[in-house]
Amino acid sequence: MDRRTTPPPPPNATLARLRRWTYVAVEGEMDSVVEFALLALIFVNVAALMASTVPTSSKCFGSACKRWGDTYEGVFETLEAVSVVVFSIEYVARLWACMEEPAIAAEGPLKGRVTYATRFFLLVDLASILPWWVAAMPGVPESPDFTTALRVFRLFRLLKAEKYISAFGLLAEVLRENSTLLIATSFYAFMFWVTFATLLYLTEVDNPALGNFFQSIPASLFPTLLMLTGEYPLAEFTAKGQVVAGFIAIVAVAVFAVPTAVIGSGFVKAVQRASGQEFSVDM
């Protein structure tokens, strides 16, 4: 009896299946163990960054304080190294597997990967790992300023979470569809901001109770912005200043209510389209 066995697939077929699996694992939606693990690691890194700035003593004040990042330096450095290695592997895997995308494959292996590497999220990935590798290179001097800058770059990892959460895609769609209206409301908000800053300068420039806050229109911009966000200062305005401040309190509601309503309405429509359902109210 001639027993025939199925020959193993050629190496290139096995490699193709591996590349396809890698592409689905790192570029798919939030539905795989790989993506859950990467998202969890992102938030662990952000939490570690915040924890490293906590002073070891509640009586200490200022930048000279000893912090958890100093006391547990070895723990934070180990977590940082492991995270960078994981994110570096992810970055290389993305560059390798991106040829599974038809538009990228059509450009060829080199040009396609260069095009892929210049996408926003790939630049975010690179910004989150490159400073650590630069600092780890021999001959690079250690300095407090560079260490501080390195910590700031770690926040780029939080942007990596956006590609794993589909709600961010809905937000981008809403902003794109309502961009004209949002630009118009932003223009009116800017106009009200400058106008009220000018009026407060004119009414409060000679008011000694307010110090230097309204001694020029540029100086008036910051306290006026706080007032437009609802942070009304407990200050001794003049009678004219109180009138202006009253108008600011009224206009501030519209300044935030209009864009909030636009985005909220856009979200409802986007969710309806995504789910294929229409919301209705039974009367």
SS3 label, residue 213: coil
174-275 carries CATH number 1.10.540.10:
no
pTM for this prediction = 0.62
51 Cβ partners below 8 Å, 6+ apart?
Answer: 68, 69
pLDDT, one tens digit per residue, over 42-74 is 888 888 888 888 888 877 777 778 888 888 889
pLDDT, one tens digit per residue, over 105-122 is 899 989 999 999 998 888
Dihedrals phi, psi of 67, to nearest 5 degrees? -120, 170
Residues 227 and 246: beta-carbon distance below 8 Å: no
* DSSP assignment string, 138-176: TTPPP-HHHHHHHHHHHTHHHHHGGGG-HHHHHHHHHHH
**pLDDT at position 78 over 90:** yes
Alpha helices in 52-119 (DSSP H): 68-71, 73-97, 102-105, 109-117
Mean pLDDT of the chain, nearest integer: 79
The two counts, helices (H) then strands (E), for the chain are 13, 0
Task: Give the model's pLDDT for residue 5.
Answer: 47
CB neighbourhood size of 142 (10 A):
7
Q: Which amino acid, 266? A: G
Q: Running DSSP on this structure, what letter comes out for residue 261?
A: H
Residues 91 and 119: beta-carbon distance below 8 Å: no
Residue ranges of domains in the chain: 11-164, 174-275
